[in-house]
Each structure stands twice: as C-alpha cells, then as structure tokens.
A and B are shown apart, each in its own frame.
Chain A
Amino acid sequence: MAAKFDLDDNGVVVIIGSGAGGGTLANELAQKGVGKIVVLEAGKHYKLEDIENDEWAMFGKISWLDKRISAGAWHHTKDFPNLPAWIVKGVGGSSVHWAGLALRFQQHDFKTRSTYGHVPGANNLDWPVSYEEMDPYYSRAEKKLGVAGAAASGMPPLPENNHYKVIAAGARAIGYKDIVRPMAINSRENDGRPGCQQIGFCMQGCKIGAKWSTLYTEIPKALATGRVELRPESMVLQIQHDKSGKVNGVLYVDKNGKKQLQKARIVCVAGNSIESPRLLLNSASSMFPNGLSNSSGQVGRNYMVHTTAAALSIHKAPVHMYRGTAIAAVVSDEAKLDTNRGFFGGYHLEGLSIGLPFAAAFIRPGGWGREISSALEMYDHMTCVWVCGEDMAMEQNGITLHKTEKDHYGLPVPVVSKSDHANDAMLRIHGLAQWRKLNEAVGAIRTVDMPPYPASHNMGTNRMSAKPRDGVVNKWGQSHDIKNLFVSDGSQFTSSSAANPTLTIVALAIRQAEYIADSMKKGMI
C-alpha cells in the first residue's frame, strides 16, 4: 500500500520528522486526500519486538545521541555535557518515549505577555491563537489519542496504581483537590490496540502499543492510504529554495549514506526544538544569509524546556512505584494562575516513576557515598515526582551552530544554551517544598531532591507570532517569510505552559493539516 515517489516529483509535500507533530500531520493530510507525501525520518524504524523493558538498553537504542553541546548556567553543562535533551531518534520520534500525559494548556497560557505584563529578562509574547480557537482541536486530539478519562474520547480513566494512591492521599492531606491523570494510554482495547497491562516502562516505548505513539498509529494509517512514503534513516541536511525564495527541495542523506535531493511543493519541519531551528540555520543561502525564515532573528531563540525538578520520597513501607503506568497521580492545584506565590506561571506535580538504574543515575549526578546508597537501598519504598512548571521565554536561551565542530553528517554541532530566569528558580523551590509536604503528610521519612533530567520537553525555538518581527511562523505554523514552509512541532510554541507539550503539538498538527489541505486546494501554496 505504501506509496513511492520520484525524487524529481516537485508536487510532493515533504515532512521532516515522524513524531507527534510530523507523524500526525502526515496522516491528517493523507486522510484529507493530499496525494503525495514523503516523510523523512532521521532515525531507524523500530518495531514492537525491538522494545525492551530495560532503561539503559532502550536509552542506548532509541535516544538521539548525535553530538550536542550543553551550554549556559543549567547543571546540564556539567552533568550532561553532550545530552541537553532526552529525545528519540526513530520513527515515531519522541512519541515513543513520552509517558502519555495529555494535559491541555490553559487560557492564560496563550496570553502570557498580556497576562503577566512585561517581565524583566523574559521575552514573553501572546500566541496568535487563543484557547477558544484551540478547544475543538484539543477535543479531536484527545479522541485521536484515546485519552483515558477525557470526555472527547469516551475512554474510562486508568486504574490507580500504588504510586498513584500514595501521591493522591498525600495531596488530599495537604488540601489539594485537583488530582488528575489524562493519559494517552488505552484504559481498554481501542483503535486496534490493547488495553494497558500495567507493565511500567512507558518511557522506554510501550511493549504492547497501549500508549499512543505515531510509530504504530498515525504512521501505519498514513501509509495505508497509499499517499504517503516513509523514508527512515534519512537525515535532512538542508532545505533549498528557488530564485523567488519559495522552498523547492530537501537535501538529505539516505540510509546508504548517499546524498539525495527530494523536490518539494511544500516543506513541513517537525524535527523537535533543537533539530528544527538547526535545520533552518543550516539552510542559509545568499538570499537568506541568516537562515531560512529568520528575518526576525528569532530562529533558535526562546528555547524553553519547562522549569523542572525531581525528588524521591522514602516511605515507611513499600510502594513499588515502578509497577504500572509511569505517570501516577498528577496534582494540578499549583498549575492555576496565582501570582501571590512569588512567581508567574504554575506547575504540575507529576508522579513519575523511574527504575532503579535511572534513579541511581539521576539522584545526584556525580554523588557517591552512604548519602546516595542509603536512599537507593529504599528503592521499593519510594515515590517520585517530576515538577513540571512554566518556563519563561528568554531570547538568549537557544540553539546555535558550533563555529568549528561538525557531526558525522558534516553539519555544525548544535550548541544548546539554557539558563534559569529568576522566576524559574522560585517556581522550582516552591514545587519541591510542596512535594516534600505532600509526602510527609502520609508519613514519608526522607525526601531527596534531584536536579532536572535532560530535557524531554523542548519548545519555542521557531515560535508563532502575530507580527513577523516577533517570531518565525504565523498562527498556522506557516513561515512569515516563505509561504510554502511550515513548522509542525513544539518549536512553534510561543509559551511553554506548565502542561506537557504533546497534546498541544497534536492539536496544532490537526489544525495545520486543515489549513495546508485547504490552501493547496485553493492553489495558494
């Protein structure tokens, strides 16, 4: 059924990346009858049989490990010098790794500039799209993902595991009420995939496909239309353009190490928030000397990762947090808009289990001695949180190209620079203190704070803006400068919200597909 298109076919829509953004866009366009779509995916095409319940084995197998350099004031510069971000290189992209938490952004998240006013040191901006405009697309995304407990999907909530029960009890004991868990994990058989078996290891790839990932939903559905060709192990080097400035082709290295040039009618970039701006910068030409779609100078800037922290709490009796879905209870009381706490934005306290191998790696990078080992010895008594909070856009946080160092594709290595805004630091401290209180309310005897993990939520480096001078793309993810060039991933986010990004990426992709299909029909692009 899968289609095959000629490299010289200039009627092709080329989508770069097959994750939550690119994979969804490919399927949505194909379902609307767009006839020629090529998906270029840098990584390999793994199957369910390749997935193991093993943290390090899967980290080594599916992570994006091409060289990157961490820079800036965050601790990654020292502790994760070449792993600023923890994302996937493979068909399905980071939708293979995501834990499945499908939170919506809130109304004020789309209006941070007008809600917070000018925040010194930050580069906040309102989105050119509102929550009200996004609402129906969120519903469609929830239905597509089969979000457990969401009205739009009709799927029942997932059952509560031990980890959920401890966190929920602690939350209620300190007065929290907004305890949620909208998960893109089948709570029963749905869409040709089985219900969750409480395996754990959600972030190593779901072994049975109960968690939504484009790897085994959007991609095969797209291929089945006969309108889509997937080319794995195809790393894009450059987007090319004609004399008028319209993009007309994509230069990539195929699985045999050969350079190929795929002609294109439209190009959609969905390589996540490091690779997408990197590609636009690497596509600089004499006509666009600062990179494609960069008349604003904002390509690669405003990099946001969520303001995060993690902590392990040791309880008086076993919890076995690793049994069952990786995301346990999510406490959302602190995600609401409330500037009385001393910071803008809010955070979710997300119960998120990690296995013993990762607990040992992340508890205190570089640490040793009984302080560490005495905690790890209580592994089965632990609860674990990931504080996921709003990250302020700052212009100097971002992706640049290393001046001399090249990777194995011959491309300049990306330098990923991130420093806290003072607001981030305040939020992080508040979140960790509330987590400690929550656990102590149900008898925790010790809590160990952990520094942020390498970033799995990467956003903002090709942001949307109403005015071309403030950002890279318009409200449809369409380049302000080049009308047949689109950004289709989380890099188009104008703010980070406190919510995990995937549901919003999918909702934007559904919406963008409508716009692209309609514009093609009208001959506008």
Chain B
Amino acid sequence: MDKDSKKTQDESQQPEGMSRRFFLKGGSSLAAIGITTLAGAGLGTALPAEAVAPPAAGKEGYTQSFANLGSGNGETLVKMARDIFPHDKLPDQLYADAVAGYDADAESKSMIMSGLASMDAIAKKRFGKRYADVALEADRLEVLYAIEDTPFFQKIKGGLVTGLYNSKKVWPLLGYEGSSWQYGGYLDRGFNDIDWL
C-alpha cells in the first residue's frame, strides 16, 4: 500500500462541517456501466414514451419534426437507430422516440451534426446518395462500420440500449411484460403455464 495515498488519523481527529457540494456531485448511474445516455430517453425520467402519440399503424413515419437538427438529419438519425438495433416488427415511431431527445440536446449538437454529416459524406462517396436514401441495409452497414469506433456512434448506440430497450412501448412488442406486482405477480397469471416441454 502506498503511504502517500493516505490521510493519517493524526491529520483529521477533529469532527468538522463538511461541504454539501460533496454530496451533490454524484455521477451518472449509467455512465458507471459504460452506457451513455441521452437526457430523457427511456429510464422513465421524462421523454418520450408518454410524450408522443402512439405508433402509427404502418411502420413508416414518426411525429417528431427534429426542428433543431433539421428534418433531414432527423431522418438519418432514425434510420441509423434502426440499423444499429434492427427489429423489423418495430415501427419507425419507436426508433424516433429513442433518439428524439438529441434534438433538444444543445450540449451534444455539434457532435451529432458532424457525425451525421460524415455518415452522409461516406454514403455519397460509396453509393452516390445520402445515408437515409441508401436502399440496402448491407450498404448502410458499410457506412456504420466505417464510423463505429467514433464517439458519435458510441453515443448513439449507447443511448439506444436504454432509449429503445427500456421503452415501455417497445416491451410488449418484444415479449416483455414489465411491472407485475400491481397485478398480484404471476402466481395466478401463468408463472407455470408452459405446455411444450
């Protein structure tokens, strides 16, 4: 053990007031496990599940306008979200909900804007069109592979882990039932109903 790293008892025998700010400095719980978050995405804090209209019947389209990032960038972001965790049965609206918070995220705006611009630049160079207009998923993945080590990609992907999979609207579509205590648990609701074994 390194002696220099320790405060000795002799230096701190007297109780004294301790600055409150020490207690207000807590870190982000998700950062602790290496998952980046987007303010309000998932996590039940605010946005977006309850804040937007339910998914449209078809899988195309979403209600967000992405006023700050621009509608074209919004389209790229939503397509990117789907390509990162593609579920064909999920409507666009749920992917849009998962990334909608970035539109109001002034702090990361420049990173998001330049990240999206570089995606479009790579797509134009390789396929002659912007990312969202590249028709084949395999081609779009080439673009994502080219940027997957960038902080921008890592941020979007990390945010989707909770933005998408902690969305209560996504859960039933992927077979998860969520909170159960208010229904008396599963004691009378199929905890042992398996019939195929």
Write the residues of chain A forming the contact surface with B, with a CB cutoff of 8 angstroms: 52-57, 59-60, 63, 65-67, 78-83, 159-162, 165-166, 169, 196-201, 207-208, 237-238, 240-241, 251, 253, 257-261, 281-286, 289-291, 294, 297, 299-300, 316-320, 322-324, 355-357, 359-361, 365-366, 368-370, 372-373, 376-381, 400-404, 408-410, 412, 442, 454
- Quick check: B32 and A162 within 8 Å, CB to CB? no
Query: Quick one: which of B19, B34, B171 has the most chain A CB within 10 A?
Result: B34
CA distance A356 to B175 in the complex (A): 9
Q: Please tell me if B136 contacts chain A, counting CB pairs below 8 Å.
A: no
Query: Quick one: which of A78, A237, A368, A380 has the most chain B CB within 10 A?
Result: A368
Query: Quick one: which of B2, B16, B18, B190 has the most chain A CB within 10 A?
Result: B18
Interchain residue pairs with CB less than 8 A apart (6): A65-B27, A78-B34, A198-B191, A284-B9, A356-B175, A404-B5
Comparing B47-55, B112-120, B160-168, the segment that makes contact with chain A is B160-168
Known interface pairs A57-B43, A200-B180, A376-B165. Does A369 touch B141 (Cβ–Cβ under 8 Å)?
Answer: yes
Interface of A is mostly: loop
- Quick check: B6 and A57 within 8 Å, CB to CB? no
- Quick check: A83 and B18 within 8 Å, CB to CB? no
Q: Please tell me if B20 contacts chain A, counting CB pairs below 8 Å.
A: yes
- Quick check: B26 and A408 within 8 Å, CB to CB? yes
Q: Report A-chain residues with C-beta under 8 Å of the C-beta of B8.
A: 284-286, 289
Q: Report B-chain residues with C-beta under 8 Å of the C-beta of A166.
A: 194, 197
> Which 8 A-B residue pairings sit nearest by Cβ, starting from the closest?
A380-B175, A197-B185, A53-B179, A360-B165, A199-B185, A356-B176, A285-B9, A408-B22
Q: Please tell me if B46 contacts chain A, counting CB pairs below 8 Å.
A: no
- Quick check: A65 and B26 within 8 Å, CB to CB? yes
Query: Quick one: which of B3, B7, B9, B43 has the most chain A CB within 10 A?
Result: B9
Q: Report A-chain residues with C-beta under 8 Å of the C-beta of B178.
A: 53-54, 355
Q: Please tell me if B17 contacts chain A, counting CB pairs below 8 Å.
A: yes
Give how many A-B residue pairs fall within 8 Å (CB-CB): 232
Residue in A83, A316, A373, A403 whose CB lies within 8 Å of B86 = A373
Q: Please tell me if B60 contacts chain A, counting CB pairs below 8 Å.
A: no
In chain B, positions 148-172 with a C-beta closer than 8 Å to chain A are: 148, 157, 161-162, 164-166, 171
CA distance A201 to B178 in the complex (A): 9
Q: Report A-chain residues with C-beta under 8 Å of the C-beta of B31.
A: 82
A373 to chain B, nearest CB (A): 5
- Quick check: B33 and A361 within 8 Å, CB to CB? yes
Apart from A208-B181, A284-B6: 17 A-B pairs, beta carbons within 8 A: A53-B181, A60-B43, A65-B29, A78-B34, A79-B34, A198-B187, A238-B9, A257-B23, A258-B15, A285-B10, A319-B194, A324-B192, A369-B84, A369-B85, A376-B85, A380-B175, A401-B2
Instruction: Tally B residues with Cβ within 8 Å of A.
Output: 69
Nearest to B37 among chain A residues (CB) is: A56
A267 to chain B, nearest CB (A): 14
A328 to chain B, nearest CB (A): 11
Known interface pairs A238-B9, A376-B174. Does A161 touch B29 (Cβ–Cβ under 8 Å)?
Answer: no
- Quick check: B15 and A260 within 8 Å, CB to CB? yes
Q: Report B-chain residues with C-beta under 8 Å of the C-beta of A365.
A: 33-34
A198 to chain B, nearest CB (A): 4
Q: Report A-chain residues with C-beta under 8 Å of the C-beta of B32.
A: 63, 65, 80, 82-83
B15 to chain A, nearest CB (A): 4
Known interface pairs A65-B27, A198-B187, A372-B85. Does A162 touch B9 (Cβ–Cβ under 8 Å)?
Answer: no
A235 to chain B, nearest CB (A): 9
Q: Report A-chain residues with C-beta under 8 Å of the C-beta of B19.
A: 257
Q: Report A-chain residues with C-beta under 8 Å of the C-beta of B16.
A: 259
- Quick check: B1 and A300 within 8 Å, CB to CB? yes
Q: Report A-chain residues with C-beta under 8 Å of the C-beta of B18.
A: 253, 257-259, 409-410
- Quick check: A240 and B13 within 8 Å, CB to CB? yes
A458 to chain B, nearest CB (A): 16
A296 to chain B, nearest CB (A): 12
